[in-house]
Structure 1
Amino acid sequence: MLLAIDVGNTNAKFGLFRDTELLARWRIATDDRRTADEYMVWLDQLLRLEGHDRADVGAVIISTVVPRALHNLQLLAHKYFGVDALIAGRAPVGWGIALKVAEPQSVGADRACNAVSAQAIAPDKDKLVISFGTATTLDHIGPDGAYLGGIIAPGVNLSLEALVAAAAKLPRIAIEAPPTASVIGRNTESQMLIGVYWGYVSMMEGLIARMKAEIGKPLSVIATGGLATLFQEQAHLFDRIDPDLTLNGLMHLYHQRATEA
């Protein structure tokens, strides 16, 4: 089986695949100081809860936007699974798609994995991939799978944390859909919730509309990230939500490499 690991700025996600089937997924807060031993203590228990053993893992593939976390994950693969981890975007695991931007080396590994995954979902069609993470990103993927550029905006949680940190009297609130469609709040908490939720809905609506107009062709809007479902509840912005888009991209890259080998 394949263990796919996607390390973001906030969370690291682990997915266990049998061929193309995602059997289990887990997440842990990103910490570049976490050792291979600490990862294994955590992961070993989760594998057993799902009825698996570490001996079942025959390959590991990693994508990361946190370079300092990579060494300990490579050590995890070598020490506990007896394999050399494959690194997405490095030989022998090339992206298999063109990165048609001014600085292709700067494209985040997660965004490239999302492009690979989106191409498998909607081949021969333009795609707009929206990822809700530490940053909110919108990426244009061509009909041939090429990454054609996109947008980086502050993430929802990041914006809310900045607001609370900068305004001493504002309380911390949970991000959720407001109870009504009203955009006039009657207390501080409801006003903050309206500002965050409907503010982001409006931003998404505006950016999606602008990107569609600039691309000028029919496209499929694919969203990923924990908050995608929350925004879809009230706004219906996306054609499809895939919470495992990045992990599936890693799986496709692994099998692509296996095919080319």
Structure 2
Amino acid sequence: MKLCVDIGNTFVKAAVFEKADQIDDVRFRPDNFELFATFIKKHEPLQSAIISTVRGVPAELIHLLGIVPKVILLEHTTPLPIVINYDTPETLGRDRIAAVAAAYARFPQQNVLVIDMGTCITYDLLTSDGVYQGGMISPGVYMRFKAMNEFTNRLPLVEPELNVSLIGKSTSGSLQSGVMHGIRSEINGIIGSFSINYKDLTVLIGGGDNKYFDQKFNCSIFAASNLVLEGLNVILDFNDLQ
């Protein structure tokens, strides 16, 4: 079996795959590697692993993966099943690369807009010829709430909710509406803009905050709960064939 690890800004997520099938997954904060150790032990032996990280690789993780015969740290130089058309590939988020690799495997020879709703909202375009063309980065849900609280004197810090009213009847309600409906309108608008230029556009959306927006967009969207992990598995399989 294979292990895929995504070290994000807030959580570490990992999954075990058998070929293309996800067998199990776990999510934990970066200071709780005991949970990860239990997860690895549960699925031994592991043949290979791949890591995507935005913060470096913790020593605890290096120690735990010492028993795995083959470990890949995803870099901009890692062989990929897609072509990267980006001016600064060394700065391109590894999670974005992985998400697009997942889109490539799911929708070969199609134009795909990949939206990942994490700490930031990323929009990444994969064209039908298998080329990653670049994209956009926008503030995520919690970042918007936190920014309005921190950059003003009197606006409270509120939490996201489901089914927020369009018209806020309180300051908290107005903040909720501004963020949640603002993001929905942003995503619908960006999908519309890309659809003008890219025929038969497929939209694939993932990330933890997608749960707040399920079924709230103006077009058909494919959802994926573990998009980055799925893409890491695609990249790992590609490298196993090299």
Q: TM-score, normalised by structure 1?
A: 0.84
Aligned match of 1:11? 11
Amino acid of the structure 2 residue aligned with 1:190: G
Aligned match of 2:195? 212
Q: Cα distance, 1:227 vs. partner?
A: 1.6
Which stretch of the first structure deviates more once superposed, 69-78 or 248-257? 69-78
Structure 2, unpaired ranges of 5+: none
- Aligned positions of 1:9-158 closer than 5 A: 9-30=9-30, 34=31, 39=33, 41-46=34-39, 52-53=42-43, 55-67=44-56, 69=57, 71-78=59-66, 81-89=67-75, 93-158=78-143
**Paired-residue identity, %:** 26
Q: Cα distance, 1:242 vs. partner?
A: 0.6
How well do the aligned residues superpose, as a CA RMSD in angstroms? 2.1
1:28-50: per-residue Cα shift (whole Å, max 9, x none)?
224xxx5xxx62x22233467xx
Is 2:146 the counterpart of 1:161? yes
Aligned match of 1:2? 2
Contact between 2:164 and 2:180, CA under 8 Å: does it hold in 1?
A: no
Is 2:186 the counterpart of 1:197? no
Q: Cα distance, 1:173 vs. partner?
A: 2.1
Contact between 1:140 and 1:147, CA under 8 Å: does it hold in 2?
A: yes
Q: Cα distance, 1:108 vs. partner?
A: 1.1
Contact between 1:127 and 1:140, CA under 8 Å: does it hold in 2?
A: yes
Query: Counterparts of 2:164 and 2:182 in 1: how far apart (Å)?
Result: 15
Q: Which runs of 4+ in 1 moved over 6 A?
A: none
Query: Counterparts of 2:179 and 2:188 in 1: how far apart (Å)?
Result: 14
Query: Counterparts of 2:95 and 2:103 in 1: how far apart (Å)?
Result: 12
Query: Counterparts of 2:130 and 2:25 in 1: how far apart (Å)?
Result: 26
1:127-160: per-residue Cα shift (whole Å, max 9, x none)?
0000111111101101132110101111111111
Amino acid of the structure 1 residue aligned with 2:4: A
Q: Residue 129 of structure 1 aligns to a residue in which SS?
A: strand
Picking from 204, 217, 224, the partner of 1:235 is 217
Contact between 1:223 and 1:238, CA under 8 Å: does it hold in 2?
A: no
C-alpha change, 1:237 and 1:162, in structure 2 (3 Å) is farther
Contact between 1:62 and 1:88, CA under 8 Å: does it hold in 2?
A: yes
Query: Counterparts of 1:72 and 1:84 in 2: how far apart (Å)?
Result: 17
Query: Counterparts of 1:174 and 1:155 in 2: how far apart (Å)?
Result: 13
Amino acid of the structure 2 residue aligned with 1:217: K
Structure 1, unpaired ranges of 5+: none
Contact between 2:115 and 2:204, CA under 8 Å: does it hold in 1?
A: yes
Q: Residue 83 of structure 2 aligns to a residue in which SS?
A: coil
Contact between 1:64 and 1:70, CA under 8 Å: does it hold in 2?
A: no
Q: Residue 84 of structure 2 aligns to a residue in which SS?
A: coil
Which stretch of the first structure deviates more once superposed, 96-105 or 217-226? 96-105
Q: Cα distance, 1:120 vs. partner?
A: 0.8
Q: Residue 235 of structure 1 aligns to a residue in which SS?
A: coil
Query: Counterparts of 1:254 and 1:225 in 2: how far apart (Å)?
Result: 21
Contact between 2:82 and 2:104, CA under 8 Å: does it hold in 1?
A: no
